[in-house]
Structure 1
Amino acid sequence: MNEKPSKSMSGNPLMPGWYADPEARIFEGKYWIYPTWSAPYEEQTHFDAFYSEDLVNWTKAERILMMADISWAHQAMWAPSPVERDGRYYYYFAANDIQSNDELGGIGVAVADRPEGPYRDALDKPLIDQFVHGAQPIDPHAFIDDDGTAYLYYGGWGHCNVVRLGEDMTSLVPFEDGETYKEVTPELFVEGPCMFKRGGRYYFMWSEGGWGGPDYSVAYAIADSPVGPFRREAKILQQDPAVATGAGHHGILQVPGTDEWYIVYHRRPLEETDRNRRVVCIDRMTFAADGRIEPVRLTFEGVAARSLPR
């Protein structure tokens, strides 16, 4: 598709095959990417994962979760977001693309003892299966704050909610004000929420535009609280007519103990018009002196090899 990467650079895309909606994590001394298998809904019946020790060489962990093992899922599993707590791995995902509260589906959670699974359904039902504040229950993103509080951000149809996860990571607990679902929708939000923390501040990111078209993109806000308010700052990831279109729905990696950051995202190669033909890529993400995120440059080269600190 593009030139083969050198040994010292990752190249983009990172791996062969059509993948999208990547979540990026560091587990057990390795970089991990958990994407959606990008295919028509009826074919999105499994999840793969990829891991690396240097951001350049990636190994595939196949079929870490199968639709056949989720009793309530019948089409379109996508947008995974795993997180580790107390040595176990909790894997949040969307299934069935429900259009109303009368349909079965929403956000599920699976659990495993290893980052590569195999994962099993933790509840035998969705964790979130209703439209609340207008948010379609899709695109979960798990975030554990420095104080140990676990949050799950999610939402489509232009609305985003955040909930608190219980200590078991498979239940919801109310906020101190008694609310269970807080709407935190910023301006122009469409879907694909993502949260990280830098310098004591909360960076909330999301996707804008339509995922099937060229204008898919990523914007962000900065707040002093994990529940906002989130005021849109700017768009930082979008198509480049010389590289690719439809750049969006991403995850973030920070090299521990450093201020080195990477954005892992999907995009559509210029020669492709099929909306499902998306690939996972990685590029550097940098910050201005005032903490704002600088626009990300889409590249074919990707990033240089970077091992994790020992």
Structure 2
Amino acid sequence: MKKILIFLFAVFCSKAIAQTAVSDSSKNNNPIFKGWYADPEGIIFDKTYWVYPTFSAPYEQQVFLDAFSSKDLTHWTKHPRILDTAAVKWAKIAMWAPSIIKNKNKYFLFFGANDIQNNDEVGGIGVAVASKPEGPYKDYLGKPLVDKFYNGAQPIDQFVFRDKDGQCYLIYGGWKHCNIAKLKSDFTGFVPFEDKTVFKEITPENYVEGPFMFIKNNKYYFMWSEGGWTGPDYCVAYAIADSPMGPFKRIGKILEQNPKIAKGAGHHSVIKAPNSDNYYIVYHRRPLTETHANSRETCIEEMHFDENGFIKPVNITNEGVKADFIK
């Protein structure tokens, strides 16, 4: 009798383990964390994945930024209010699209605020600084870094790009125009280009907003969002060039809605896992059940390249990605 009971118990345990394994393998990891968040920038600091998104809400409620960290891309820790308008006297509303970079053991968080519509309004692109990735951040300049429209570009959707030689650039722009500018080493302003201009337009065909750039095999991959952020046609396209200055000729879309999964997939960033060829695209999308413009959630997918270095179309999923620990 005792042997029978032991056998039955073993069978029960094996079934339970099998059910657990099936459950884990079919777990949906998208969205990667709860809440309405958009415009995510993903990056790695000290063997930890970080995501810095926009808090997706009406403009007057967008008065702070949260951050999220993970050791494996699947379990995330929330770091609330790493920056808010109380620390930035000139920022009142619409705190958007953070971009972060580590420089000389400090963390510099670039952000948009106030959604200015002309050169007479106060706002634009600001910079905050902290000693840790999770902050707290404080205003670095006491004023916006960019507070005017240059080449028709609204000063929003900033991305900080570090080139192979260590030079950092600010790439930004809404209203279908994109600029690049060479940052000073201390991020207090800009260094003019050789022709004495400060802001150069690098706008590719169909560009709307949300620029991002990375280097692969000595080529510069420039990515951006197209379509309207409130609609289902929001998407991501890209170009490749030999320089961060371009010229960038549009190749095509690589991320867009799937009517069976979600709508409005766009405003992304890219993470390359160290010591591997794994690339991940972090982006936001709108669930099929949602119609409100601000009902956006942050998701992640694998991103692959073909033998010629072109980006393959990304399939948006509910599963997301498997755990990837930084070695």
| Shared fold (TM-score, shorter chain, > 0.5) | yes
Tell me the distance in 2 between the aligned counterparts of 1:98 and 1:209: 20
Tell me the distance in 1 between the aligned counterparts of 2:149 and 2:243: 24
Tell me the distance in 2 between the aligned counterparts of 1:9 and 1:88: 37
Question: What is the TM-score when the length of structure 2 is the normalising length?
Answer: 0.92
Q: Is the 8 A contact 1:10 1:304 kept in 2?
A: no
Tell me the distance in 1 between the aligned counterparts of 2:69 and 2:56: 19
Q: Is the 8 A contact 2:28 2:318 kept in 1?
A: no
Tell me the distance in 2 between the aligned counterparts of 1:276 and 1:302: 21
How does 1:280-291 map onto structure 2 within 5 Å?
280-291=298-309
Question: Secondary structure of the equivalent of 1:42?
Answer: helix
Q: Does 1:279 align with 2:297?
A: yes
How far did 1:146 drift?
1.5
Tell me the distance in 2 between the aligned counterparts of 1:60 and 1:265: 17
Q: 2:84 pairs with 60, 66, 89, which one?
A: 66
Q: Does 1:14 align with 2:32?
A: yes
How far did 1:10 drift?
6.4
1:94-150 deviations in whole A, cap 9, x for unaligned?
Answer: 000000001010000001111001000001100000000000000000111111000
Q: Does 1:38 align with 2:56?
A: yes
Question: Secondary structure of the equivalent of 1:280?
Answer: strand
- Between the two proteins, the alignment pairs up a number of residues equal to 305
After superposition, the Cα gap between the structure-2 partners of 1:109 and 1:260, relative to the gap in structure 1 and judged at 3 Å, is same
Q: 1:25 pairs with 11, 34, 43, which one?
A: 43
1:169-206 deviations in whole A, cap 9, x for unaligned?
Answer: 23111123322101000000000000011010000000
Q: Tell me the equivalent position of 1:97.
A: 115
Tell me the distance in 2 between the aligned counterparts of 1:169 and 1:198: 25
Q: Tell me the equivalent position of 2:240.
A: 222
Tell me the distance in 2 between the aligned counterparts of 1:73 and 1:196: 29
Structure 1: 5+ residue runs without aligned partners?
none
Q: Does 1:107 align with 2:125?
A: yes
Q: Which has the higher contact order (CA 8 A, sep 6+)?
A: 1
Q: Tell me the equivalent position of 1:55.
A: 73
Tell me the distance in 2 between the aligned counterparts of 1:135 and 1:53: 37
Tell me the distance in 2 between the aligned counterparts of 1:113 and 1:170: 17
Tell me the distance in 1 between the aligned counterparts of 2:65 and 2:300: 20
Moved segments of 4+, more than 2 Å: 5-10
Structure 2: 5+ residue runs without aligned partners?
1-22
Tell me the distance in 2 between the aligned counterparts of 1:172 and 1:34: 24
Matched residue type, 1:95: A
Q: What percentage of residue pairs aligned between the two structures are identical? A: 58
Q: Does 1:302 align with 2:320?
A: yes
Alignment RMSD (CA, Å): 1.1
Tell me the distance in 2 between the aligned counterparts of 1:158 and 1:198: 26
